[in-house]
Amino acid sequence: MFGMAVNDHWRDGAAGSFLLIGGAEDKDGECFILREFVRLAGGERAGIAVITTATRLPGEVGEVYRRVFLRLGAGEVWPVHLDSREKAGDPHHIAILQRATGVFFTGGDQLRITRILGDTPFERSLKANGSGRLIIGGTSAGAAAMGEIMITGGRGGYPPGRNAVKMAPGLGLLGGVVIDQHFAQRGRIGRLLAAVASHPHVLGIGIDEDTAIAVSPGGRFTVLGSGTVTVVDGRSITRTGAAGSLLGATLHVLAPGYGYDLKARKPRLPEAPRSVSR
């Protein structure tokens, strides 16, 4: 079930473009992260479908994002309230997806996303269109659901004990990774380490609030926003044991401007400003 390594995912060319947020992003000020999503979706030509499946308040949450994206210059925004598997098979909703240049998943409960959308015509259409044409975004639960493995619960803090994390299959739109959100703010390093210790072939990515990763089709991401992104590589783990012991994991903490190559599993330094010839 959890068998695709990061390198296999990018070598197969299955990945598209993503902008995944750790939650609590700015919606009132400069909105740097959401403004970047609109830009990637095409700016004034953007058509954005806001998927509110994760939340119990779809009308309210969908309207918030509709107003924000329009204020930031998007051409059209369509809140899509998929709260049943029947609606996820409605041709009207599939048609919206096929018109969209960006698809944005709101926060809430990531299990609702996979339970309602998993293996439906909507999910299959999203995967078919997401390998190049779309920019796929998500915040909080909407980011967590993108990975191959999805963290659904567990205690924060450290060390990563045996019962530190609960997991389930994610949508797998971004294969070979497990994503945790609200990362530093809720002390979730222990549960991300526990997730990677259980599945060393996947990369663990912990995203702080008001922070995002912008992932290119080639498998490189750049950190945006006000916090940091933590990457845990479990390939080098030599031993796990009782009382939360974990030896050999590789950990990177990436500030805004830094990046990471998912295929090579290497961090990337910020690009130097280009000089202007005179």
Residue 272 resides in a domain: no
* Residue 277 in domain: no
Q: Can you give the pLDDT at residue 229?
A: 98
The residues assigned a catalytic role are 140, 182, 209
What are the residue ranges in the chain where pLDDT is below 50? 1-2, 10-14, 276-278
pLDDT at 1: 39
Q: How far apart are CA 150 and CA 152, in angstroms?
A: 6
pLDDT at residue number 33: 98
> What is the count of structural domains for the chain?
1
DSSP state of 244: G
Q: What was the pLDDT predicted at 272?
A: 72
pLDDT value at residue 119: 96
Residue 140 maps to a domain: yes
User: Considering the domain boundaries, does residue 39 fall inside one?
Assistant: yes
In a 3-state reduction of DSSP, which class is residue 268?
A: strand
The answer as to whether 278 is a domain residue is no
The 3 state secondary structure assigned to 70-117 is HHCCCCEEEEECCCCCCHHHCHHHHHHHHHCCEEEECCCCHHHHHHHH
The token pair that represents 85 in the structure block: 């598997």
pLDDT of residue 23: 98
Q: pLDDT of 94-116, one tens digit each?
A: 999 999 999 999 999 999 999 99
CA–CA dist 87, 93 (Å, integer): 8
b/e code 160-170 from CB counts within 10 Å (16+ = b): bbeebbebeeb
What is the reported pLDDT for 12? 44
Residue 270 maps to a domain:
no
Print the domain residue range for 167: 6-261
* Amino acid of residue 12: D
pLDDT of amino acid 7:
56
* Residue 170 maps to a domain: yes
Q: Which residue, 72, 213, 30, 29, is CA-closest to 50?
A: 72
- The per-residue DSSP string of 16-81 comes to -EEEEE-S---SSS--HHHHHHHHHHTGGG-EEEEE-TT-S-HHHHHHHHHHHHHHTT-SEEEEE-
pTM, two decimals, is: 0.93
Mapped onto helix, strand or coil, the DSSP state of residue 7 is: helix
| Residue 269, SS3 per DSSP | coil
Integer CA distances (angstroms), 30 to 52, 62, 139, 172, 210, in order: 23, 20, 17, 31, 12
User: Which CATH number do you get for residue 219?
Assistant: 3.40.50.880
In a domain, 275, yes or no: no
